[in-house]
Amino acid sequence: MVKANIELVDSGPSIERKVIRALRKEVDKFVIRATHQITAPIRNIVKNAILEQPETQSLDGGQLAGEFGFRDGRERVKQIVDIWTNNIMIIPRKATIFKVDSD
């Protein structure tokens, strides 16, 4: 058996602040990594949702295509939607950690 004697040189609140700071740093790293991983799937979900709308589909040879005079409605709509969805940005925010009383 090993005996150890540990003496804390910082106060409880000081230790708590250091732990929270370290946790926040790790959470921020995780959020940034997650943001990079979810950006492309979210862009695809939004793109598909727009392209599946009846109004969007009508621009491809439907009534709206005729009203706007589109001969290549599908390609024009796809280009516009690509521009929109490629500009979707997910901006991570810094973590906020709240102290919860154990009472």
Within a domain: residue 9? no
Residue 37 in contact with residue 20, Cβ under 8 Å? Answer: no
Within a domain: residue 5? no
| Total number of domains in the chain | 1
User: pLDDT category, 37, cuts 50, 70, 90?
Assistant: very high
Within a domain: residue 92? no
User: pLDDT category, 101, cuts 50, 70, 90?
Assistant: low
Within a domain: residue 81? yes
Residue 59 in contact with residue 65, Cβ under 8 Å? Answer: yes
Cβ neighbour number for residue 30 with a 10 Å cutoff? 12
Within a domain: residue 100? no
Q: What is the mean pLDDT of residues 34-47?
A: 95
pLDDT at 43: 96
Within a domain: residue 94? no
Mean pLDDT, all residues of the chain: 87
pTM exceeding 0.85: no
pLDDT digits (tens, 9 = 90+) for 64-96: 888 888 777 778 888 999 999 999 999 998 888
Q: Residue 99 gets which letter from DSSP? A: -
| Closest to 88 (Cα-Cα) out of 54, 45, 51, 27 | 45
Residue 17 token pair: 């602040």
Give CA separation, 5 vs 8, 19, 30, 51, in Å.
10, 21, 35, 67
Within a domain: residue 69? yes
Within a domain: residue 93? no
Domain that holds residue 34: 14-86
pLDDT at 20: 87
SS3 content of the chain, % helix, strand, coil (to 5): 65, 0, 35
